[in-house]
Amino acid sequence: MAQQTEGGMEERKANPVARVTSALRANLPQFLILARQARPAPG
């Protein structure tokens, strides 16, 4: 993300896999937190 140079958007369009991966990485923490809250604590 720090290497956002000219043509960054074009690169994103040409690489849907990277776009999905970055989206998953952005949403994964929230998903884990929700899953942890939904599950009763062990013990």
Q: Residues 1-43: pLDDT tens digits?
A: 555 555 555 655 668 898 898 998 898 888 888 888 877 766 6
pLDDT of residue 2: 56
Please give the backbone phi and psi of residue 6, each rounded to the nearest 5 degrees, phi first: -60, 145
pLDDT of residue 31: 82
Burial zone of 40 (CB within 10 Å; 0-12 exposed, 13-18 middle, 19+ buried)? exposed
Dist CA 29 CA 35 (whole Å)? 10
pLDDT of residue 28: 87
Q: Is 12 within 8 Å of 18 (Cβ atoms)? A: yes
pLDDT of residue 34: 83
Q: Give the residue among 11, 31, 34 at the shortest CA–CA distance from 23.
A: 31
